[in-house]
Amino acid sequence: MSMSANVDHDRRHHAAPHRDAGGPLWLSAAAGLCASLVGLGLARFAYTPLIPALIAAKWFTPAEAVYLGAANLAGYLAGALIARDLGARIGSVWALRGMMLLAAATCFACAVPISFIWFFGFRFLAGISGGVIMVLAATAILPHVAPSKRGLIGGVIFAGVGLGVAASGTLVPLLLQQGVKQAWYGLGVLSAVLTLISWKAWPAEVPAAHAVTEQPVAAHGVRSPLVIALCVEYGLNALALVPHMVFLVDFVARGLGQGIAAGSYYWVLYGIGAVIGPLLSGHLADRAGFAAALRAAFLIEAVAVALPAVTTSPAALIVSSLIVGGFTPGIVPLVIGRIHELIPHSAASQRSAWAQATTTFALFQAAGAYGLSYLFARSGGDYAVLFVIGAAGVAVALAIELFSVVALGRKRS
């Protein structure tokens, strides 16, 4: 078969599901939203507003509580590394269902503070569930989506992260009125219910035989200099998100002395931004192109991350929380879409590149979380330096993006 025939076959293969999208497509997007809500929004981000309560209840010291947050990010890296193999062995849909169940189970396990090691292990498992879901959710759904709607559908999928953040910021303080254990139980019940609701909504698997025929193309696409540069940029963006993701609530509650309620208020704003962010960024990318939207995102994010180091006025903290919250999941559909622009005709190469990007993100995020946690402890609790380092990370990402365009040429689908 000729190369042109292969490309035509590939295009026909992906065109068929687009005609049948309609209701099933939005059901699939809702399943993806539930998965990101459980595996990332609740299993990961709900921990942030719990940190001051865990310290106040003397479950853990401040340093231990922060390191436990970083344990989740290390698990996320492990999940990203095993996701493709797990999906190939048992199928992406069953892997996603299993990881949602695991995320719910970890919440129940964390209600029992047997020891630091026990808690560390289950925070690590919660991270694994999030890493697998991040790699597999979009790639299980987007091959069924027409290119003109991929930004919006990707935004819907990852809006679940923001819903989880917003839910944790509002629900966790209410649950904490009953106790720390009750907060974990509540998160576990909500995760289990969402898992059951989404159980039958996932789309059919992409035929394995088709993925095998595309593997030679995939390797070439993943090694593209522009794709490699994009992965590095995505990793630096992960570092930029760590200060807000791990330290925001504690910064307001203890660093500024405003208490847990005030910290949770800013975390709710972070969550509101995280709900709206992926929808807006995905819609913008569908209109302006993913490359242009990504560069604008890096620029805006650099300013927003740096704001708390410059001023702690309520207005600045509100803007910073909303914008950084928006880009926490909002950057994801932009990077996935950019991969589709750079590798336009091979679903297998897109999956491979996305797994590589997610692994790079997880590596930078875990290293950044541990590094910044260590720096925080050694500096005696200097929050400002954390935000400065985060802003520098995304500024370097923007510089790499602009340099790669000039040096390697402009490639847009």
pLDDT value at position 206? 57
How many residues comprise the chain?
A: 413
> pLDDT tens digits, residue range 52-85?
788 887 788 777 787 787 788 788 888 988 888 8
The mean pLDDT of the chain is 81
Work out the number of other CB atoms within 10 angstroms of the CB of residue 254: 20
Q: What is the mean pLDDT of residues 8-13?
A: 42
Q: Which of 292, 71, 37 has its CA nearest to residue 168?
A: 37
> pLDDT tens digits, residue range 348-362?
788 888 888 988 988
pLDDT value at position 17? 45
- What is the C-alpha to C-alpha distance for residues 343 and 352, in angstroms, rounded to an integer? 11
pLDDT value at position 409? 57
What percent of the residues of the chain are helix, what percent strand, and what percent coil, each to the nearest 5? 85, 0, 15
pLDDT value at position 43? 84
> pLDDT tens digits, residue range 296-355?
999 999 999 999 999 988 999 999 999 999 998 889 889 988 888 888 777 778 888 888
> pLDDT tens digits, residue range 142-198?
777 666 677 778 778 888 888 887 777 778 878 888 888 888 898 999 999 999 998
Is the pLDDT reported for residue 222 higher than 70? no
pLDDT value at position 319? 93
pLDDT value at position 404? 81
Name the CA dihedral angle for 63, 68, 72, 75, rounded to a multiple of 10 degrees.
100
